[in-house]
Amino acid sequence: MQIRRRSLILGSGAAGASALALAACGSGGSGSGGGASSSGDAVVFVNNTEPENPLIPTNTSELGGGDVLNACFSCLLAYAADGSSENEVAKSIESEDAQNWTITLEEGWKFSDGTPVTAKSFVDAWNFGALTTNAQRAQSFFEPIEGFADVSAKEPTAETMSGLAVVDDHTFTVRLNSPQSDFPSRLGYWAFAPLPESAFEDIEAFGELPVSNGPYKVESWTHDSEIVCVPNPEYTGPRPAKNAGITFVVYADEETAYNDLASGSLDVIGGIPSSALSTFEDELGERAINQPAAILQFITIPQYDPNFQGEAGALRRKAFSRAIDRAQICEAIFFGTRVPATDFTSTSIEGGGATDIPGSEVLQFDAAEAKSLWEQAEAISPFQGELTLSYNADGPNKDWVEAVCNSVTNSIGVTAVPTPYPAFGAYKEQIAAREITGPFRSSWVADYPSVFNFLFPLYASASADGNGSNDGQFKNEEFDRLLAEGQQATDPAEALAKWKDAQAVLMENLPSVPLWYQNTMGGHSEAVSDVKFSWNGGLLFPDIVKG
């Protein structure tokens, strides 16, 4: 998922051809948990940003809303802290050929309104997310399913995907466009969550106060202030809440949130302001969190900006990248909590963080080369207007954005101007509307542990044009082909090789400029315990104990 509050989406990547079934792990289904009865006697207060969109799983691509969805919805799978997965709503996910899948649900699951979670709850939700007329941000995640092309066209020829079929209340089948052995690994991401029938009766009302099937349910949402979640009394799964609820407090900046943590008025913070990076571990002691995570910070260079189009634009993109002294910024601004990126993925997933991708020298700082490339571009077509770098100011971005601008300015001799947007939600809206020209700050945290998850949502043609996370509108047929060939490979090594080739296309075209791999950093107050962040930086909300 994209840009998030933690300074801004480990386990195995693609599964082998022999591992085509996920049997029940003894952790899901009716009676395996304690529901609300296991809750503690105090509410946990956690920092957050105002969600970009209503709280609909298929229309959320950032953690302002995503944290709430993770707390409130259960998917077919759940990801453990180390990135491994186990069945949650699913009893089994099986295939003999990696293309035709049969999914069987555990019995006894209910939504927070008491209605049952059925096979139809999943099929209807996935069809809703895929249909173009519903304009859902996660639409591209359903691209592998047969019939997606019919529902995702600008003028759909069908309302449901032919590859989905309900067998009975607890069984449905999925036919993919091609064999894809890693398909099950995606099914713990919130875009694949089930929806109750009431959601489709009034989706706008549902987005304000969703009916969920996970450990919590939303009790109230006061916009730009807080989202109050309480334990879901209908939940009987493996993740019962050990607290009396989670209140997500919306902050305009993490400096204020960190101060509130120090004073004890906030229990958990999922990000550290730049001013505290060198001191927070000493200040918080054992309550500090600093661990690797599947998070990449990068700068998107929109394909629709005339200054970065054509031959001159290609030279400018490379000049911009080579003008950034990543190593110096990681040390001076982040005190070693970031590592300069060598690819478009993350070192925290299998096959990520590659150092041998052809063309990757474009990510290495070289001021002289940057200046030369920029001058070559100017000789072809002079730059028009001001060179800006946009970012959301309600996260800890100001210091590093200014450092990047200084590095670019000093290298190429053209002033790069930091351009803040006060609130994350409005910032994302302007990106989606293509109202932000020039480079803009982006981040990605893995939705599921796979290199493919860093490449397809951000750069595939199917993820462009509004209903995906390809905010830069990059489209390249060779890249799409290599992605698909890797996805269809049954040998994980072959898949990773194809995706390396796809990254070489990105190195040549630079639709974005990777900056650094990022740790999860945060902390908690003395009032709570058992605070754990997962492989991709997400909080394990039900485990937090308070009181």
Q: Does some domain include residue 215? A: no
Q: Does some domain include residue 322? A: yes
What Rg do the C-alpha atoms of the chain give, in angstroms?
23
Q: Which among 543, 507, 538 is positioned nearest to 67, based on CA atoms?
A: 538
CATH number for 406: 3.10.105.10
* One-letter identity of residue 39: S
CB 128 within 8 A of CB 195: yes
Q: Which among 62, 516, 58, 39 is positioned nearest to 270, based on CA atoms?
A: 62
Give residue 342's pLDDT. 98
Number of residues written out for the chain: 547
Give residue 417's pLDDT. 98
Give residue 429's pLDDT. 87
Give residue 25's pLDDT. 33
Give residue 34's pLDDT. 36
How many domains does the structure of the chain reveal?
2
Give residue 12's pLDDT. 28
Give residue 10's pLDDT. 26
If asked whether residues 99 and 201 sit together in one domain, one would say yes
Q: What domain range includes position 499?
A: 293-519
Task: Give CA angle at 467 (220, 104), nearest 5°.
Answer: 70
If asked whether residues 195 and 302 sit together in one domain, one would say no
* One-letter identity of residue 388: T
Give residue 3's pLDDT. 36
Which residues is 249 bridged to in the sheet?
47, 226
Alpha carbon distance 394, 396 (integer Å): 7
If asked whether residues 512 and 404 sit together in one domain, one would say yes
**CA 49 from centroid of its chain's CA atoms:** 15
Give residue 5's pLDDT. 33
Give residue 464's pLDDT. 86
Give residue 61's pLDDT. 86
Alpha carbon distance 51, 177 (integer Å): 33
Q: Does some domain include residue 361? A: yes
Give residue 36's pLDDT. 39
Mean pLDDT, the chain cut into blocks of 10 residues (547 residues total): 34 31 33 41 94 95 92 95 92 95 98 98 98 94 96 96 98 94 91 98 98 98 97 96 97 92 96 91 96 95 96 98 97 92 95 96 98 98 97 90 98 97 87 92 91 94 81 96 90 93 98 96 96 92 94
CATH number for 167: 3.90.76.10
* One-letter identity of residue 171: T
Give me 328's structure tokens. 């110096």
If asked whether residues 83 and 205 sit together in one domain, one would say yes
Q: Does some domain include residue 267? A: no
Alpha carbon distance 322, 339 (integer Å): 16
